[in-house]
């Protein structure tokens, strides 16, 4: 057991730090939940990609550096410590790409991954439907067989940044006659600008169009955009669900940087006694999450899968993220009310954390049933 | 980096777990709380044979340490089995004696601590001293400044302290603790002077850090035991015709306990590796909070049976409460975290 990075890993850290110091925009980009900010973040993705920093853990042929998980964690620590922008390509990189690595074809990887790495094609998820949220497997959007492909019809919702994104991926019912809801689902990719797609932006709490409804009316998807075998969609989606909940959606680097900024903010406010416990807990939470993640990465390198332990992660980071931002707003006092303040965007975003990627109630069910072994019951 | 216990460390935990399971530790704890020490001393000898105390003592004095990760592994098991006695105090005393510039006290006292022939307890400025009637070696060290407050770190005044070997306490009745297995006595004054000066003040800091680390690991073990026992209970206890563990309100309370414990665990072992006082304080605070959260859930989910003295759950419930405040409560631990400097973790 040790906590020491290898010298070569520290050299990698230094290289990342130097590149970021030279390239991170001096002025923060506009909110990526707006058209202007989305475009600015897309430009930043392209800049990252020029020197292969956008997807450090991918193989070089797809635009990465072929680095392991530990170096990805190191990169993320440096990335957020440098104050670099949020990642507009995150849904594609952390959800679709792992699925393609595990279940896609060489042709799909060669076609989809390089433009994702360069920010040329930005992906949105299309999981939820109005009547299928926590009970995702009850979804009813259909994909009907047609010549050399499928026709998608139905309504998807809460599709993050779909108002500005290029393509989407999600689950569709291809065989409605099967006894169990998670049977007969297929994992498909589709173009958000294809004929038959209507994107209706939805304003989140602060009015920014952070997600959208997708109305699909016989949208043609060619066979080459099916991931895995038709009917296998649930198994494929769940096999990489741990990525969303666990390791790769929220890196510790982001929280370490956030906790550092909170300590700075506290000091600039004169280190008020009233916030001392919250600030200490912010620092401790970042350290706990960092060390938990190092342990999870070590398990991963031992060949274990994350499995239901990713639900521990998801509840922790989502509640911790919210607490961090509440601490910051409390410290800011009157200034904390300003929607254009440095912490407001993050606060509104953090409010959604306990809801998306499987609500925290669903995660607690998973922890209780699959980690602790409690009997299944009514939800 | 590989931040997971090695196979040998896991095997050590497993062997302690097996030995303690076979030792009927709840009965030992009951005996100890009544002042009947024979079963506790026998268990102490088995722990020494298993190498637990040697982990805290350097080779020069008959131990194999200091090995803080293995020590943390051991203390998780000691907490899991509610082992009574001055366990934390003995390994903290070892840290104190080891850290002195003057090697005389270490040569004199450490070999018998490592072998388990003697037990130690110590008072580092606290009002009470644990198990002073049972310990063979009773150390007191009163720093001339407050022991842990961050403000003192900047103080110009030299920090000095005196280390004394106090005479054994045999006559007093113990001050009752919320944890009946903890027998408290007023901190003694006087005794043989073992060492003095800034070296003692520095050694006291080492001892406090060691005590917090051991307490953090012990609390983690207490919490893990409470979670295991409660999971087993809610699986078999039926109401309304089904196991109460199938109810979502029950599941979510236990899930929250599991989350708290699983995020405390890496802090404990991370602190064992770095031995940094801020890391150790973070681990102490978080592990004790997690154990207490789990204790509250355990009591609630057991219902009235959990509220009884006879039911053995009480051994862990009461310990989870007192561990929060010994060797630095939440406030003192947060102070240490905030005074840990701007170092990036």
- Structural domain spans, chain A: 7-117, 123-232, 240-371
Q: What is the pLDDT of residue B146?
A: 47
- B345 vs B108 pLDDT, higher one: B108
Quote the DSSP letter at residue A223: G
| Residue A164 CB partners (closer than 8 Å, separation 6+) | A35, A38, A39, A122
- How does residue A246 score in pLDDT terms, banded at 50, 70 and 90? low
The pLDDT tens digits for B117-142 are: 999 999 998 889 999 999 999 999 97
- How does residue B160 score in pLDDT terms, banded at 50, 70 and 90? confident
The answer to whether B246 contacts A292, with C-beta atoms less than 8 Å apart, is no
Q: Residue B278: which CATH number? A: 1.20.140.10
Quote the DSSP letter at residue B345: -
Complex ipTM tops 0.85: yes
- How does residue B344 score in pLDDT terms, banded at 50, 70 and 90? low
CA distance A254 to A85: 11
- B150 vs A360 pLDDT, higher one: A360
User: A88: closest CA among A195, A155, A161?
Assistant: A161
B260 within a domain of the structure (yes/no): yes
- How does residue A187 score in pLDDT terms, banded at 50, 70 and 90? very high
Q: What is the pLDDT of residue A243?
A: 59
Mean pLDDT of A85-112: 95
The answer to whether A284 contacts B286, with C-beta atoms less than 8 Å apart, is yes
B308 within a domain of the structure (yes/no): yes
Question: A7-117 and A123-232 share one CATH topology?
Answer: no
Q: What is the pLDDT of residue B155?
A: 53
Is A214 a residue whose pLDDT tops 70? yes
Q: What is the pLDDT of residue B172?
A: 77
The three-state secondary structure class of A25 is coil
Buried b (16+ CB within 10 A) or exposed e, B54-65: bbbbbeebbbeb
CA distance B137 to B52: 18
Q: What is the pLDDT of residue B342?
A: 66
Give the pTM.
0.95
Q: Which residues of A are catalytic?
A: 244
- How does residue A342 score in pLDDT terms, banded at 50, 70 and 90? confident
Cβ-nearest to A290 among B4, B242, B345: B345
The answer to whether B267 contacts A375, with C-beta atoms less than 8 Å apart, is no
B53 within a domain of the structure (yes/no): no
- Tokens found for residue A241: 């669900």
CA distance B150 to B153: 6
Q: Is the preceding peptide bond at A258 cis, omega within 30 degrees of 0?
A: no
Q: What percent of chain A shows pLDDT beyond 90? A: 89
Q: What is the domain range of residue B259?
A: 214-229+242-338
The answer to whether A377 contacts B248, with C-beta atoms less than 8 Å apart, is yes
B292 within a domain of the structure (yes/no): yes
Is B157 a residue whose pLDDT tops 90? no
The pLDDT tens digits for A104-155 are: 999 999 999 999 999 999 999 999 999 999 999 999 999 999 999 999 999 9
Most A CBs within 10 A among B266, B286, B339, hence the mutation to make, goes to B266
Q: What is the pLDDT of residue B144?
A: 58
Q: What does residue B316 show for φ and ψ, rounded to 5 degrees?
A: -85, -35
B contacts of A81 (beta carbons < 8 Å) = 344
Q: What is the pLDDT of residue B147?
A: 47
User: A210: closest CA among A335, A65, A356, A337?
Assistant: A356
Buried b (16+ CB within 10 A) or exposed e, B152-178: eeeeeeebebbbbbbeebeeeebeebe
Q: What is the pLDDT of residue B323?
A: 98
Is B153 a residue whose pLDDT tops 80? no
The topology under which CATH files domain A7-117 is Butyryl-Coa Dehydrogenase, subunit A; domain 1 (1.10.540)
**What angle (nearest 5°) sits at the alpha carbon of residue B113, between those of residues B108 and B115?**
110
E strand residue ranges, chain A? 123-126, 142-146, 149-160, 167-173, 185-191, 197-202, 211-222, 226-227
* Residues facing residue A144 across a β-bridge: A151
Mean pLDDT of B158-183: 89
Q: What is the pLDDT of residue B142?
A: 79
* A248-252, A353-357, B54-58: range with lowest mean pLDDT: A248-252
The answer to whether B286 contacts A361, with C-beta atoms less than 8 Å apart, is no
Cβ-nearest to A365 among B3, B248, B264: B248
CATH 2.60.40.790 applies to domain A123-232 = no
Rg of chain B's alpha carbons, rounded to an integer?
Answer: 20
B275 within a domain of the structure (yes/no): yes
Cβ-nearest to B285 among A284, A375, A378: A284
B31 within a domain of the structure (yes/no): no
- Tokens found for residue B232: 């087993």
Is B341 a residue whose pLDDT tops 90? no
CA distance B160 to B197: 5
A321–chain B nearest CA distance, Å: 15
Q: Which stretches of chain B are DSSP H helices?
A: 7-22, 25-33, 38-49, 68-80, 87-99, 104-115, 198-236, 248-274, 277-302, 313-325, 330-338
Is B152 a residue whose pLDDT tops 80? no
Q: What is the pLDDT of residue B158?
A: 57
**What angle (nearest 5°) sits at the alpha carbon of residue A114, between those of residues A111 and A120?**
100
B291 within a domain of the structure (yes/no): yes
First CA to last CA distance, chain B = 15
Total domain count for chain B? Answer: 1
CA atoms within 13 A on the CB side of A333: 7
Residues 213-242, chain B: which have Cβ within 8 Å of A? 227, 231, 234-235, 242
User: A322: closest CA among A308, A343, A342, A294?
Assistant: A343
Class of domain A240-371: mainly alpha
Q: What percent of chain A shows pLDDT beyond 70? A: 98
Residues 274-293, chain B: which have Cβ within 8 Å of A? 274, 279, 282, 285-286
Q: How many CB pairs below 8 Å do chains A and B form together? A: 153
- B22 vs B341 pLDDT, higher one: B22
Is A375 a residue whose pLDDT tops 90? yes
**Closest chain B residue by Cα to residue A315:** B259
B247–chain A nearest CA distance, Å: 6
The pLDDT tens digits for B177-230 are: 999 999 999 998 889 999 999 999 999 999 999 999 999 999 999 999 999 999
Element (H or E) spanning B257, and its range? Answer: helix B248-274
- Tokens found for residue A376: 């299944």
Q: What is the pLDDT of residue A240?
A: 73
């Amino acid at each position: 057991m040790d906590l020491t990075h290898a010298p070569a890993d520290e050299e990698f850290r230094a290289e990342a730090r130097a590149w970021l110091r030279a390239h991170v925009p001096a002025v923060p980009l506009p909110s990526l939940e707006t058209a202007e900010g989305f475009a600015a973040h897309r430009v930043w993705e392209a800049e990252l990609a020029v020197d292969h920093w956008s997807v450090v853990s991918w193989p070089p042929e797809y635009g990465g550096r072929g680095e392991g998980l530990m170096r990805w964690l190191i990169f993320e620590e440096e990335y957020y410590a440098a104050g670099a922008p949020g990642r507009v390509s995150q849904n594609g990189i952390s959800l679709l790409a792992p699925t393609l690595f595990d279940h896609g074809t060489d042709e799909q990887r060669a076609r989809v991954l390089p433009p994702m790495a360069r920010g040329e094609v930005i992906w949105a998820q299309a999981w939820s439907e109005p009547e299928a949220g926590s009970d995702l497997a009850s979804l009813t959007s259909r994909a009907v067989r047609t010549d050399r492909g499928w026709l998608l019809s139905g309504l998807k919702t809460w599709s993050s940044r779909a108002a500005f994104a290029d393509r989407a991926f999600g689950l569709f019912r291809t065989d409605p006659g099967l006894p169990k809801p998670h049977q007969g689902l297929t994992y498909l990719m589709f173009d958000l600008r294809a004929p038959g797609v209507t994107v209706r932006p939805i304003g989140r709490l602060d009015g920014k169009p952070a997600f959208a409804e997708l109305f699909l009316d016989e949208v043609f998807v060619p066979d080459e955009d099916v991931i895995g075998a038709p009917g296998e969609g649930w198994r494929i989606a769940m096999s990489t669900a741990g990525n969303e909940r666990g390791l790769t959606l929220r890196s510790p680097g982001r929280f370490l940087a956030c906790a550092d900024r909170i300590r700075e903010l506290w000091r600039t406010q004169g280190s008020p006694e009233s916030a001392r416990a919250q600030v200490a807990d912010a620092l401790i939470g970042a350290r706990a999450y960092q060390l938990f993640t190092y342990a999870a990465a070590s398990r991963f390198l031992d060949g274990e899968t994350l499995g239901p332990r990713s639900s521990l992660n998801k509840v922790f980071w989502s509640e911790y993220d919210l607490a961090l931002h509440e601490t910051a707003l409390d410290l800011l006092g009157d200034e904390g009310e300003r929607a254009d303040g440095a912490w407001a965007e993050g606060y509104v975003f953090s409010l959604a954390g306990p809801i998306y990627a499987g609500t925290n109630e669903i995660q607690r069910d998973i922890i209780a049933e699959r980690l602790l072994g409690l009997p299944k019951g009514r939800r | 980096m590989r931040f997971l216990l090695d196979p040998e460390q896991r095997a050590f935990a497993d062997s302690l777990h097996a030995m303690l399971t076979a030792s009927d530790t709840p009965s030992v704890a009951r005996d100890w709380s009544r002042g009947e020490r024979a079963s506790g001393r026998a268990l102490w000898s088995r722990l020494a044979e298993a190498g637990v105390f040697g982990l805290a003592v350097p080779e020069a004095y008959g131990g194999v340490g200091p090995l803080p990760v293995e020590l943390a592994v051991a203390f998780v098991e000691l907490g899991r089995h509610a082992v009574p006695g001055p366990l934390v105090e003995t390994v903290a005393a070892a840290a104190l004696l080891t850290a002195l510039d003057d090697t005389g006290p270490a040569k004199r006292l450490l070999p018998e601590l490592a072998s388990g022939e003697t037990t130690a307890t110590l008072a580092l400025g606290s009002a009470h001293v644990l198990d002073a009637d049972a310990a063979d070696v009773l150390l007191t060290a009163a720093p001339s400044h407050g022991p842990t407050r961050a403000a003192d770190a900047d103080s110009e005044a030299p920090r000095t302290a005196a280390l004394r070997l106090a005479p054994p306490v045999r006559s007093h009745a113990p001050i009752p603790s919320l944890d009946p297995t903890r027998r408290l006595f007023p901190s003694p004054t006087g005794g043989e002077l073992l060492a003095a000066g800034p070296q003692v003040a520095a050694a006291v800091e080492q001892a406090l850090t060691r005590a917090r680390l051991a307490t953090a690991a012990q609390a983690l073990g207490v919490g893990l035991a409470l979670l295991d026992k409660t999971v087993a209970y809610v699986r078999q206890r039926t109401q309304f015709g089904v196991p109460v563990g199938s109810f979502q309100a029950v599941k979510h309370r236990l899930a929250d306990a599991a989350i708290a414990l699983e995020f405390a665990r890496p802090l404990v072992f991370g602190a064992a590796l770095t031995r940094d006082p801020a890391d150790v304080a973070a681990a102490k605070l978080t592990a004790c909070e997690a154990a207490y959260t789990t204790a509250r859930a355990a009591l609630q989910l057991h219902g009235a049976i959990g509220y009884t003295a006879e039911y053995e759950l009480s051994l862990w419930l009461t310990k989870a409460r007192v561990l929060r405040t010994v060797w630095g409560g939440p406030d003192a631990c947060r102070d240490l975290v905030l005074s840990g400097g701007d170092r990036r973790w």
